Amino acid sequence: MIDYTTLKHSSDGMPTWDAYLGILLKLAMNKQLWTADAIKTAAVDELNLPDELRNREYNSKSTGNVAKNRAGFALSDLKIAGYLRSPRRGEYEITKLGKDAWKKYGLNLSRTVVHDEPLHKQHQAKLAKIKSDNSDTSETLVSFNEDLIQDWFNPKNHSVSLDVLATNLAMALSAFFLFILLSHFHYVLSSIPTRESSSSSHRGENGTLYRCCTVNVPGFSLLALIVLPFLPE
SS3 58: coil
Q: CB under 8 Å to 226, separation ≥6 — which residues?
A: 210, 211, 212, 213
Percent residues over pLDDT 90 in the chain = 44
- Mean pLDDT, the chain, rounded, equals 77
CA-closest candidate to residue 17, choices 52, 57, 36, 44: 44
**Rounded (to 5) percent helix, strand, coil in the chain:** 60, 15, 25
User: Which pLDDT does position 103 carry in this prediction?
Assistant: 96
The predicted-structure confidence for 25-81, as pLDDT tens digits, reads as follows 999 999 999 999 999 999 999 999 999 999 999 887 667 899 999 999 999 999 999
User: Would you say 15 and 70 are in contact if contact means Cβ atoms under 8 Å apart?
Assistant: yes
User: Would you say 215 and 198 are in contact if contact means Cβ atoms under 8 Å apart?
Assistant: no
User: Which pLDDT does position 107 carry in this prediction?
Assistant: 93
Tell me the HSE value of 151 on the side-chain side, using a 13 A CA sphere.
7
pLDDT at 224 over 90: no
The predicted-structure confidence for 163-209, as pLDDT tens digits, reads as follows 666 677 777 777 777 777 777 666 655 555 544 445 555 555 655 55
Sheet of 195-203: strands edge to edge? 195-203, 209-217, 220-228
Q: How confident is the model at residue 97 (pLDDT cuts 50, 70, 90)?
A: very high
